[in-house]
Every structure is written in C-alpha cells, then in structure tokens.
Copies of this chain bind each other. A is one copy, B any other.
Amino acid sequence: MTGNPQRKDAARNWQHIVDTARRFVDDGVPLRLNDVARAASIGVATVYRHFPVPEALLETVAQPALTRLAADADAALTETDPWKAFADFLKAGIDAQLTDASVQPVFATSSHTLPETTELVARLHTSTGDLLARASAAETIRPGVTREDVIRLMCGVVFAASVHAHPDERPTLTRTYLEIVLTGLRLPT
C-alpha cells in the first residue's frame, strides 16, 4: 500500500510492525518504537529503519482510516442535499477519530512526516472545502466560515468529548456536541 521495500523479508517485517502498532493504538498505548520492536520480536534498528520517527509509524497506521474518510467525503459530494452532505461528513470525520485513535493526532497536526499523509490530508481539506462551498452556496451556513474552521470544529468536538469523560460515553457526547455546533453553523433561514 505505502511501503516500497524491495526484499520479501523487509516487506513482511514492515507489515508486522504496522500490525503491532495497530494493536498499540487500539489499546491506547503510546507508540514507542522500542516497545513496538520488542512486542513484534523485531530488532530495534529494523523498526527505526522503516519508521525513523514515531509519527511516521502513526501516520502509516492512520492511513487506511484517512483514505476511507476521504472516500466518504467524495461520496458525500454526490448527495443532493448540500446541508445533509456537509453534516454527514462532519459526523463521519468525528466518528473516524473516535473509532481509530491514530486519526486524531494526524488530523490535528499541520505538518506530517510522510508525503503520502500530506497529500491525503490535503485531499481531505479540499473535499471539506467543496462540501462547505456547496452548503454555503445553498445559503444554509453562516457566512465567513472557512474550511479550516470546519476542520478545527471537528477536532474541537472530539476533544470536548474527551474532557473528564470515560471513553464509553464519547460517542454519545460527540453526537450532542456536533448537534450543537451544527445548529450554531446553520443559518436560521
């Protein structure tokens, strides 16, 4: 998908590292390269060779979810109701962050280590802008809102739901907070 290792064993190790990292992320354990190496029974240097910094590994882990989200965004552009398309995308973006803990940090960071991540996130931003533009053109959204605002608000909703809260209640909380933000964004008409 992303790695371009020439040799068979290198490809296998690469995948094994990513799989192990995936487990770390799902368990809420911070991605420390030495720990991942030990958990994968792979030499530390091998891990560092494939992923010089933890962010590179994190971004690799996050890529599938980001790709899925980008596809969702493109699909949403075919939805007839501009407001519904916009609102659904926000929900999808928030759910992606809840479902996959690797998404949130990548989403909230401006500079990425992997060029592929940069490109993927740029695509997401463009799609967000398109969805926002359509909704704005339909005069459903308060003027002056930028696509950066939309991204930030998505992150804000997820963060808000993580304050003083058990992970179990996050889905419920994000739904409520997204509703509040959407109400605030929508023009009364």
- Give A residues with C-beta under 8 Å from B: 108, 110, 142, 144, 148-149, 151-153, 155-157, 159-161, 163-165, 173, 176-177, 179-185, 188
Q: What is the predominant secondary structure among interface residues of chain A facing chain B?
A: helix
Bound CA–CA A115/B108 (angstroms): 33
This chain: how many copies in the complex? 2
Extra A-B contacts (11), CB below 8 Å, given A153-B160, A156-B156:
A110-B164, A144-B176, A149-B173, A149-B176, A151-B164, A152-B163, A153-B180, A155-B159, A155-B160, A156-B157, A156-B163
Within 8 Å by CB of A161, from B142, B152, B180, lies B152
Question: Smallest CB–CB gap between A182 and chain B, Å?
Answer: 7
Nearest chain B CB to A165 CB, angstrom units: 7
Q: Is the pair A152, B173 in contact by a Cβ cutoff of 8 Å?
A: yes
Residues of B within 8 A of A173 (CB): 149, 152
Q: Which residues of B contact A180 (CB under 8 A)?
A: 142, 153, 181, 184-185
Q: Which of B144, B156, B179, B188 contacts A160 (CB 8 A)?
A: B156
Chain B hits for A181, CB < 8 A: 180-181, 184
Q: Which of A144, A149, A165, A185 has the most CB of B within 10 A?
A: A149
